[in-house]
Structure 1
Amino acid sequence: MDFDLPESAIAVRDGVRAIAGKYDQEYWSRCDAEKRWPEEVWRELVAGGWHSLAIPEEHGGAGQGLLELAVALESLAEGGAGGAASFMYLLTPAFGGLTIARHGTDAQRAEFLPKIAAGELETCFAITEPDAGSNAMNISTHARRDGDGYVVTGQKIWISGMERADFLVLVTRTIPAAEARPRTAGFTVLLVDVGEAVEAGTLTYRPIPKLGTNTVASSMVFLDGVRVPAGRVLGEPDRGFAVLWDILNPERILAAAGGVGSGELVLRIACDYARDRAPFGRPIGANQGVAFPLARIKAQVELARLMTYKAAWLWDRGRPCGSEANIAKLTAADAAWQAADRAFQTYGGMAYSLEYPVARMFRDARIAKNIPVAEELVLAHIAQHELGLPRSY
C-alpha cells in the first residue's frame, strides 16, 4: 500500500495553492455578498490548465484523473475558497470535461473538450426535479424521439450554474419510470445547447433565493419542447444509467474533496483566533475545552481525506467505488460542518459579525450534509450494501 500522492497530484496541489494564496477572505466574502462568480480565480485556473486536468491531452487537457481533480478542488477550498470551490470544479471540469471524456463519442469529444480546455465553453448538470429529489428513478422530464432528434419537456430544480452554462448535461426519461424494466432502464442523457434553447423560447430558468453558496446561482429550469439533435446523446439512448452513475459518483467524491479542504480552512481560521484571543491573560486555545474539539475535528478531516483519495483512486481505475464515494461524502461533509460549527463557537459573539468569514463558512458548510445526496440516504446505502440489512427505501 502506497499512501504517497503521485507526482502529478502534488504538482496540482502546489499549483492551485499558489493561485488560491493570492486571494484573501475579503475577496471571497465580497464575491458572496455580491452574488458573483469568482471570475478572477476562474480565469487563473483556466490559464494554468488547472480546470482541464481530466481532459485527454489530445484535446488540450492534462490527461490526468479524478484524483488530481479532487486534489485541485481540495487545495482551492483549503487555500481560501471554502465552499465556493466545489462548484468551480463540479460544473464544467467534472460535469462537462470528465463526463464527455469518459462517455462522449469521438465527434462529441472533438467538439466539446478543446473548447472546455480553452475556457471557451462551460457546462452544468440537471437531474433533480420538484417531485424527484434524491429518488432519481422517479424523474419525469421526458425526451420524445422526433425525426433526427428529441423533444424534451419537463422541469428541473436546484440546477446550479445555468446563468453561465453554454451546455446543459440533462438527465431525461425516454421510457417512463412506470414502464421501465428494469427500473434503471429508459434514462437518456442529453447535451442541451442552452443559448439555442433560450433563444427559441423553449428553455427558461429562474434563480432561487438561498441561504448560502452565493457565488453561483441555483435555478428552477423549465423545458417546454426543447429540441436536441440525436448526435447530442451522451452514451446510449435508454441506457444512460451507466453515464448517470459516472456523474454521481465523481460528484460525491469531489464534494468530499471540497469538504476536506473547507474543513482544513475553517480549522486554520479557528486556530488562528484561538491563538490570538486572550481575554483572561492567556490564549483561549490553551483551554482544553477549546483545543480538544478542534483536535478531534482535525482527526475527522484526515480520515475523510483518506477515503476521498481512495474513492477517486478506485474510480480512475474503473473499479466499483459507490460505497467509498458515499462514505467519503458522508464523513467529509460532517467534518466540514463540525469544523464550521466549532469555529463559530471558538469566535464566540464575534462569529455573528459579517466582518469575519465564519458566518459565511457556517452557512456554506451546512448544505453539504444535504447535497449532492442527503446523509440519511448514504446511511441507508451503507446499511443495505455493506451491512446486509433490509432495504429501507
Structure 2
Amino acid sequence: MDFDLPESAVAVRDGVAAIGARHGLDYWDRCDADKRWPEEVWRALAGGGWLGLAVPEEYGGGGQGLLELAVAAETLAASGAGAAASFLYLLTPAFGALTIARHGTEEQKRALLPALAAGESETCFAITEPDAGSNAINIATQARRDGDDFLVTGQKIWISGVERARHMVLVARTIPAAEARPRVSGFTILLVDLEEAVAAGTLTYRPIPKLGTNTVASNMVFLDDVRVPATNVIGRVDEGFAVLWDILNPERIVAAAGAVGSGELCLKVARDYANDRAPFGRPIGANQAVAFPLARVKAEVELARLMTYKAAWLWDRQRPCGSEANIAKLTAAEAAWQAADRMFQAHGGMAYSLEYPVARLFRDARIGKNIPVAEELVLAHIAQHELGLPKSY
C-alpha cells in the first residue's frame, strides 16, 4: 500500500500552487464581491495545461485522471479560493471533458476535447429541476424525437456557469418516468449547443441571487423545444443512467477535494490570527480552548483527504466507487464547515469585519453540506449499501 502521490499529481499540486500564490485571498475576495469569474486564474490554469489534465493526450490533454483533477481543485482551494475552486474544476474539466473523454464518440472527442483542454470552450451540467432535486428519477424534462434531432422541453434550476458555457451536458427523459421499466431507464444525456439555442430563443436563463460562491452565477434555465442533433447524444439513447453515475461520482469527488482545500485554508487563516492576536500578553493560540478545536479539525481534514484520494483512485481504475465518493463528500464537507466555524470563532468580533476573508470562507463552506447532494441522502446511501439497512426513501 503506497500513500505517496504519483509524480503526475505532485506536478499538478506544485503547478497549481504556483498560480495560487499569485492570486491569494485578496484576489478571491474581490472576485466574490464583484460577482466576477476569476478570469486571470482561469487563463493561467489553461496556459499551464492544468485544465485538460484528464483529457487524453491525443486530444490535446495531459492524459491523466480524476486523482489529478482532485489534487488541482484541492490545491487551488487551499491557495485562497476556498469552495469557489470546485467550480473551476467541475464545470468544464469534470462535467465536460471527463464525461466526453470517457463516454463520447470519436467525433465528439475530436470536435470538443481540444478546446476544452485548452480552456477555450466551457461546459456546464444540467440535471436539477424544481421538482426533482436529489431524486433524479423524477426528472420531467423531455426530449422527444424529431427526425434526426431531439426537441427538448423543460426547466432546470441551480445550473452554474450557463452564461459562460458553449455546451450544456443535459439530462433528459426520452421515456417518461411513469412509463419507464425499470425506473432508471429512459434517461438520455444530451450535449446542447448553448450558443445556437440562445440565438434561436428556445433556451433562456436567469441568475438566482445567492448567499455565497458568487464568482460563478447559478441559474434557472427554461427549454422550449431546444433542437439537439442525435449525434449529440453522449452514450446511448434511453440508457443514460450509467453515464449519469459516471458524472455524479466525479462531481462528489471534486467537490470533496475542494472542501478539503477549503478546510486547509480556513485552518491557515485561523492559525495566523491565533498566532498574531495577543490581547492578554500572549497569542490566543496558546489557549487550549482555541488550539484544541483547530487541532481536531486538522485531523478531520486529513481523514477526508485520504477518502477523497481513494475515491478518485478507484474511479480512475473504473472500479465501483459510489460509497467512497459519498463518504468523501460527507466527511470533507463536514470538515470544511467545522474549519470555517472554528476560524470564525477564533476571530471573535473581527469575524464580522469584511476586512478579513472570514465572511466569504464561512458562507461558502456551508453549502458543501447541501450540494452536490444533501448529507442526509449520503447517510441514507451508506446505511443501505454499506450497513445493509432497509431503504429509507
Taking structure 2 as the reference length, the TM-score comes to 1.00
Residue pair 2:340, 2:361 contacting (<8 A) in 1 also: yes
RMSD: 0.5
CA distance in 1, matches of 2:27, 2:255: 22
Q: CA deviation at 1:321?
A: 0.1
Structure 2 residue matching 1:199: 3-state secondary structure: helix
User: Which residue number in structure 2 is paired with residue 123 of structure 1?
Assistant: 123
Give CA deviations for 1:178-210 in whole Å, capped at 9, x if unaligned.
111111100000000001000000000000001
Please tell me whether residue 200 in structure 1 is matched to residue 200 in structure 2.
Answer: yes
Structure 1 residue matching 2:369: 3-state secondary structure: coil
Structure 2 residue matching 1:342: 3-state secondary structure: helix
CA distance in 2, matches of 1:47, 1:5: 24
Structure 2 residue matching 1:170: 3-state secondary structure: strand
CA distance in 2, matches of 1:147, 1:83: 43
User: Which residue number in structure 1 is paired with residue 72 of structure 2?
Assistant: 72
CA distance in 2, matches of 1:119, 1:263: 27
Please tell me whether residue 387 in structure 1 is matched to residue 391 in structure 2.
Answer: no
User: Which residue number in structure 2 is paired with residue 298 of structure 1?
Assistant: 298
Aligned residues: 393
CA distance in 2, matches of 1:10, 1:27: 25
Alignment of structure 1 residues 33-182 onto 2, 5 Å = 33-182=33-182
Residue pair 2:150, 2:228 contacting (<8 A) in 1 also: yes
Give CA deviations for 1:7-59 in whole Å, capped at 9, x if unaligned.
00000000000000001211111000000000000000000010100000000
CA distance in 2, matches of 1:242, 1:308: 22
User: Which residue number in structure 1 is paired with residue 262 of structure 2?
Assistant: 262
Q: CA deviation at 1:283?
A: 0.3
User: Which residue number in structure 2 is paired with residue 313 of structure 1?
Assistant: 313
User: Which residue number in structure 2 is paired with residue 360 of structure 1?
Assistant: 360
Structure 1 residue matching 2:225: 3-state secondary structure: strand
User: Which residue number in structure 2 is paired with residue 281 of structure 1?
Assistant: 281
User: Which residue number in structure 1 is paired with residue 349 of structure 2?
Assistant: 349
Structure 2 residue matching 1:227: 3-state secondary structure: strand
Please tell me whether residue 335 in structure 1 is matched to residue 335 in structure 2.
Answer: yes
CA distance in 2, matches of 1:120, 1:386: 42
User: Which residue number in structure 1 is paired with residue 228 of structure 2?
Assistant: 228
CA distance in 2, matches of 1:158, 1:314: 29
Q: CA deviation at 1:118?
A: 2.2
Q: Which runs of 5+ in 2 are unaligned?
A: none
Q: CA deviation at 1:115?
A: 1.1
User: Which residue number in structure 2 is paired with residue 17 of structure 1?
Assistant: 17
CA distance in 1, matches of 2:283, 2:243: 52
Structure 1 segments, 4+ long, off by >4 Å, are: none
Q: Identity of aligned pairs, percent?
A: 80
Letter in 2 for 1:335: A
Residue pair 2:42, 2:119 contacting (<8 A) in 1 also: no
